[in-house]
Amino acid sequence: MLSVKRNGLVFGVMVVGIALLLWAGWHNLRERRLAMQRAQENHVVLVPEKAGVALATDPQSPEAEASQMRGKVAPPFTLVTLDGKKVSLSDYKGHPVLVNFWATWCGPCKVEMPWFEEFNKQYAAQGLVILGLADDVDAGKDAIAKVATKTGVTYPILLTDGKVQKAYGGTEGMDYLPMSFYVDRNGVVVEETAGLGSKDQIEAHIKKAIASGAQPTSGGQ
């Protein structure tokens, strides 16, 4: 009699255990289905970026601005030097050209200008031309000349006309300085930097511009 009761108890425990296992399995399956459903709702397709397209969504971000001109033909310009001589980008057709925008109030600009001067001499034999475009013409020629002298710059310093800033920096002009554009022998911008670069990086970009013979792509002038 006692044995029958015990068997009944064991049977009952087994039934409850199996029921618990089944419920746990069903609950687990339900949770997984709900999780899958939530994952589907939040599904995002990641599309690889195309070359030459800014990765940042904000078109005014430094990242976006630093890649807007890359791969495009450098916009032409004709500007005057501090002593009134006209200089055009097209004067240097066939040369690699570094177009550097700077201002008298820009500390980082004045740090890299002596480096540019050094590279100007170092890579002159490879045809390198450096043009310094003063973004703050309202500071006056004297102030601009003073900075050029203080930084030891002998390459041409050109006075911007308001149009060239828009051609290179967009409708708002240059949002920040320094901005540099490394143009190859074909007139294509092969590298663009926003803010101060290290001396090594600048030299690498210069070498790239010297070595590059890439064909222009559409989008520039």
Partner 1 sequence: MLLRLAVAGVLLSLPGGQSLSAQIGSLDAPTPKPKSFVLYAAEQQTVTAGKRSVLELHFRVVDGFHVNSHTPKSELLIPTQMNLQPTAGVKAEALEYPAGTSYSFSFDPAEKLDVYSGAFTVKLAVVAEAGTHTVDGTLRYQACDHAACYPPKSLPVQVIFMAK
Contact flag: residue 139 with partner 1 (CB under 8 A): yes
Q: Which is nearer to partner 1, 31 or 63 (CB)?
A: 63
CB of 61 to partner 1, least distance (A): 4
- Note every long-range contact of 195-200, with CB atoms under 8 Å and residues 24 or more positions apart, other chains counting: 195/62, 195/108, 196/108, 196/109, 196/111, 196/112, 197/112, 199/112, 199/115
Contact flag: residue 53 with partner 1 (CB under 8 A): no
Contact flag: residue 114 with partner 1 (CB under 8 A): no
Contact flag: residue 60 with partner 1 (CB under 8 A): yes
Contact indicator for 112, 143 with CB cutoff of 8 Å: no
**Rounded CA gap, 52 and 214, in Å?**
14
Residues within window 149-188 making contact with partner 1, judged by CB under 8 A = 173-178
CB of 128 to partner 1, least distance (A): 17
Residues 6 or more apart whose Cβ sits within 8 Å of residue 190: 70, 71, 182, 183, 184, 205, 208, 209, 212, 214
Contact flag: residue 189 with partner 1 (CB under 8 A): no
Question: For 54-71, b where at least 16 C-beta lie within 10 A, e where not — what string?
Answer: beeeeeeeeebbbbbbbb
CB of 13 to partner 1, least distance (A): 56
Cis preceding linkage at 96, omega within 30: no
CB of 169 to partner 1, least distance (A): 10
Contact flag: residue 51 with partner 1 (CB under 8 A): no
Which of 74, 183, 205, 206 is the binder for partner 1 (CB under 8 A)? 205
Contact set with partner 1 (CB under 8 A):
55-58, 60-64, 66-67, 103-109, 111, 135-136, 139, 143, 146-147, 173-178, 191-198, 201, 205
